[in-house]
Structure 1
C-alpha cells in the first residue's frame, strides 16, 4: 500500500465502522421491540381482546430488521457464498474475480437504490391499515440499505485494488 492511499483507506474504514456502529444497535433495539410487540400480541389475545396494531408493527419491524441485518452480514462477509472456485485461482486471477463479483454487487445495489426509491414514491399514497402510517417509511429501508451495501462494495473494491485484499472481516471463513 502506498503512503498516499493509506489516509483514504483509513477514512473509508472509519465511515464503515461508523455505519456499523449505527446499524448494529438499531437492529438490536428493533429485535427487542419485535419480541415485545409479539409478546404483547400473544398475551392480549390470550388474556384480553387482541391489540390490533401489533401484527402490523411486527411485520414492519421484521422488514426493517431483515434489510438492516443483511447490510451487517454483507459488511462482515457473512452472506452465503460459494468460494471454492475463486479460492482455487492464482493470486491475480483471484483478485480479479473478487473485484468482478463486487462490481456486480455494486451495479445491482445501484439499480436497487433507484428501483426502491421509485417503489417508495409509488407507495407514498398508501397508508397502513391500523396505524395509518405512510408506506413510504416502510419501503424506505430498501434504497437505504442498498446504498449502504453499495458503499461497502465500493470500499472493498478500493481495498482490493490498493492492497490486494479486503479487511479482515471479509476474509474470515464461516
Structure 2
C-alpha cells in the first residue's frame, strides 16, 4: 500500500513537472513514505532472518555452545534495539516542535517509525529467545522458515 502510494506520488511529481508547475508537496510525501517503507521493510527482513549476519562461528559450534552463542547474539541485538527505541523516542520528543515545510506535518510522525520498527524487531528477538529457551532447534533459519 505504501509502495503504491509512493509510486503514485512520484508519478504525479514527474507528470506535473513535465506538463506544468511542479506540485510542491509530492517531494516531501515521497521522502516520508520512503523513510517509513525502509524502516518497516527492515522489520520484515529481520523477522525472516534476512539481515546481514556473520554466523559462521555460531554455525560451527555444536549443541549447547551454539545455543549459548545464539542467545548471547540475540541479547546483544535486543540491547541495541532497546537503545534504538529510547533514542528514537527522545528524538521524536526533541523534534516535536518542527513542522514539515510543505505539508506542515509534525515531524514527530515522520520520526515515529524509528522506535516503532525497533520495537517490532525487539519483539521478534524476544520470540526467538523464547524459542531457544524452550526448544533445542534454531528459531528460524536464513530462509525464514
Same fold (TM over 0.5): yes
Aligned positions of 1:55-134 closer than 5 A: 55-134=27-106
How many residues in Structure 1 have an aligned counterpart in Structure 2?
144
- Counterpart pick for 2:128 among 156, 159, 172: 156
TM-score, structure 2 normalization: 0.95
CA distance in structure 1 between the aligned counterparts of 2:120 and 2:33, rounded to whole angstroms? 19
- The aligned counterpart of 1:44 is 16
TM-score, structure 1 normalization: 0.79
- The aligned counterpart of 1:6 is none
Per-residue displacement from partner, 1:67-112 (whole Å, max 9, x unpaired)?
1010011011011112122111112111111111110111111111
Q: Which ranges of structure 1 fall in alignment gaps of 5 or more residues?
A: 1-28
CA distance in structure 1 between the aligned counterparts of 2:112 and 2:137, rounded to whole angstroms? 32
Q: Which ranges of structure 2 fall in alignment gaps of 5 or more residues?
A: none
CA distance in structure 2 between the aligned counterparts of 1:113 and 1:172, rounded to whole angstroms? 25
- The aligned counterpart of 1:145 is 117
